[in-house]
Amino acid sequence: MIRIAKVCLFVFLVPVVSACGSTQQFVAAPTVEMRDSTASLPGAVTELFVGRSLPYEIALCEADPLSGLCNNERSFPSASGLGGLFLPLNMELENIIVEQAAVEDGVVNIETKLSAPVNRRPSSCGQVPGRIEATATTAALYLPNNYCNWLVIGNVLQNIILSIDAINLQDNSFTGYYRILFFGTGNVRGSGYFRADLIAAPTR
């Protein structure tokens, strides 16, 4: 009887605790504010993501929605949840290295590599394909269903959306709302507000 009670408690707690990382701050399609350009939004997106030397880095931080500035230099978009044996997990998205970018049928297709440590330990996500879609009023960067591994035993599918609410071509930056989910040997979710600065990728 005690054993049955423990199993029931485990089944009940897993979805409850796994849902601790909320996604209620995410805004899927905010209207994009053009800070310093009269170009169309698709044109501005192409200029921002395609019209620069490759590779380049999208440096990310958790930001204040009112000012659009980073909260601090070590605050990144993040997601939290649980791994096996109720191990707490925290994933941080530090940057995205864009190695290829090209426009096809109005969509910017990108090939990237991620710096996304879990519990401060590096993860291996390999080459991560993504896309940036823009309409007349909305834009978002998608990195869907990418496989990541950490410490050999951590195997997950990761989904990232950066929903853009403002673009500044002069500063090579954009801001907006993020949502991060991954599922597998760990289950985490998180959302919030971010700032992204496009800079030259570090030489290796």
What whole-number distance in Å separates Cα of residue 125 and Cα of residue 108?
Answer: 21
Average pLDDT over residues 157-183: 95
Is 75 strand, coil or helix? coil
Pick from 91, 78, 58: which is nearest to 164 by CA?
58
Residues 111 and 3 sit within 8 Å (Cβ to Cβ): no
Express each pLDDT in 23-54 by its tens digit: 458 898 999 999 877 789 999 999 999 989 99
Collect all residues with Cβ–Cβ distance below 8 Å to 84 and sequence separation of at least 6: 153, 185, 186
Residue bearing tokens 């905010």: 30
Task: Give the whole-number percent of the chain exceeding pLDDT 70.
Answer: 86
The predicted structure's pLDDT at residue 150: 75
Question: Can you tell me the mean pLDDT for 131-141?
Answer: 97
User: In whole angstroms, what is the distance from residue 113 CA to residue 17 CA?
Assistant: 30
With 90 as the cut, is the pLDDT of residue 130 above it? yes
Task: Yes or no: say if 66 and 166 are a contact pair by the CB < 8 Å rule.
Answer: no
- pLDDT for 67-76, tens place per residue? 999 998 789 9
Residues 28, 164: contact at Cβ < 8 Å? Answer: no
Q: Is the pLDDT of residue 6 over 70?
A: no
Q: Are 141 and 130 in contact (CB under 8 A)?
A: yes
Residue 136's pLDDT band, with cuts at 50, 70 and 90, is very high
Residue 175 pLDDT exceeds 90: yes
Distance CA 141, CA 133 (A): 7
**Helix, strand, or coil here: 95?**
strand
pLDDT in tens, 78-109: 999 987 777 898 999 999 999 999 999 999 99
Of the given ranges (7-16, 59-68, 173-182), which has the lowest mean pLDDT?
A: 7-16
pLDDT category at 204 given cuts 50, 70, 90 is low
Q: What is the pTM of this model?
A: 0.85
- Which token pair is 180? 């991060």
